[in-house]
Structure 1
Amino acid sequence: MDGRIIDVTALLETDTIVFRGGATMTIPFAEMFSVEASSGWLELKTPRGLLLLELGPKAEVWRERIKNPKSVVEKLGLSETKKVCVVGKLDADLRANIEASGAKVAKTARGKDFDVVFVAANVKKDLEKLPAIKETIVPDGAIWIVYPKATASGVKVDPELTERAVLTAGRTLTLTDNKQVKIDEDLTAVRFVIPVAYRKKK
């Protein structure tokens, strides 16, 4: 980094690269002036200076993901083949994106065998719906809990609705959290799935 060689762990997130170890920082894709890959090296020109990451074959993959980030719909794994249910009052823009994906969105929260269930958690008490919701998904289905960040603007955030509270609610039901997506500046979504060992055939 700007002439210095630093041993770091770089994590490619949905819209940022997170550095840990010898240097701790987060660089959003939007702040990168240029992104190039050559001979296993990823070159990033950023406000913090020139960064060269030795990634091997992954350099080209990272370049593509940074220059062409996935849409929210792609991040959430939605498609025309998915049967989807929405529980609670979901953000209007997110709901519109879900419906625009072509997924089969149920008109009510009743039913079973859903591939994906979105839960709008606006207060901690909303997490109490999870046990019943777990019973509505297919064995390899997913539950996305969408909740406001502590820094969300224009809304009153329940101080008890923290990331820890969300993760605990899912893990208590023997669900595994395996993905987190930034919906926008105010909302985060965490995906829970049933561990393979606990999936029952239907």
Structure 2
Amino acid sequence: MSDLCNPEKPLIDKLGIKPGLRISLLGIRDSDFLRQVLPQVANPSQHRAVKGSDLIFLGVESKEQLQRLAPLRKYLVANGNIWVIYPKGQKHITQADVMAAIKEAGLVDNKTCSFSVTHTGLRACIPLAMRGGNAASTRR
């Protein structure tokens, strides 16, 4: 996993949110984040993943909810990302748990970011060697 997000950039920039991207929001309840994202994105999908997503945000509060990660891979464009948003500093769900779930889903983690005062984001993507057959077309 590489770099921590730059604390001086706005959150939506740190997370790679740009106009024109297809974004799926699953289990994200942070109203400040939603207020920032929704005006930036033409047709965000809330509560379900859509095929051809450039970015998927998956909010989880427990290890059990990490099981939702693996099926999301098929909704990504080849160079898309899934941000797993989970509570900071908790024993019931740790960064190691999230990283293990990412690996189990056949993804690789490549960035971490402070999502909010209470939550961290860990970004996952399809490994370069596996892009193409298991994901929708590439966009961006």
TM-score w.r.t. structure 1 length? 0.60
Matched, 1:185 2:117: yes
Question: What letter corresponds to residue 167 of structure 1 in structure 2?
Answer: M
* DSSP 3-state at the match of 2:81: strand
User: What percentage of residue pairs aligned between the two structures are identical?
Assistant: 27
SS of the residue 2:100 aligns to: helix
The Cα offsets for residues 132-153 of structure 1, whole Å up to 9 and x where unpaired, read as 1111111110000011112xxx
Give the number of the structure whose alpha-carbon radius of gyration is greater. Answer: 1
- Residues 72-127 of structure 1 deviation map (CA, whole Å, 9 limit, x = unaligned): 00000011111000112432212222213235312441431100000001111110
The correspondence of residues 142-161 of structure 1 with structure 2, limited to 5 A, is 142-150=81-89, 159-161=91-93
Larger relative CO (CA 8 A, sep 6+): 1 or 2?
A: 2
What amino acid does structure 1 have at the position aligned with 2:6? T
Q: How does 1:7-156 map to 2 (within 5 A)?
A: 14-15=6-7, 69-150=8-89
Q: Is the 8 A contact 1:73 1:101 kept in 2?
A: no
Q: Which runs of 5+ in 2 are unaligned?
A: none
What is the aligned length? 132
Instruction: Give me the whole-angstrom Cα distance separating, in 1, the residues matched to 2:83 and 2:40.
Output: 16
Amino acid at match of 1:177: D
Distance 1:89 1:75 in 2: 17
- Classify the secondary structure of the residue corresponding to 1:135: helix
Aligned mates of 1:111, 1:184 — CA distance in 2: 25
1:184 Cα deviation from its structure 2 partner: 2.1
Give the alignment's TM-score, normalised by structure 2. Answer: 0.84
What's the offset of the Cα at 1:13? 5.1
Read off the aligned partner of 2:78 and give its amino acid letter.
P
Letter of the aligned partner of 1:14 in structure 2? N
Aligned residue in 1 for 2:99 = 167
> 2:100 and 2:47 mapped to 1: Cα distance?
27
Measure, in 2, the Cα distance between the counterparts of 1:120 and 1:190: 11
Name structure 1 gaps, 5 residues minimum: 1-10, 16-68, 151-156
Q: Where do 4+ consecutive residues of structure 1 move more than 6 Å?
A: none
Structure ranking higher in strand proportion: 1
- Separation of aligned partners in 2, 1:196 and 1:115: 15
Q: Give SS of 1:96's match.
A: helix
Residue 79 of structure 1 aligns to a residue whose secondary structure is coil
- Matched-pair contact (CA < 8 Å) for 1:142–1:192: yes
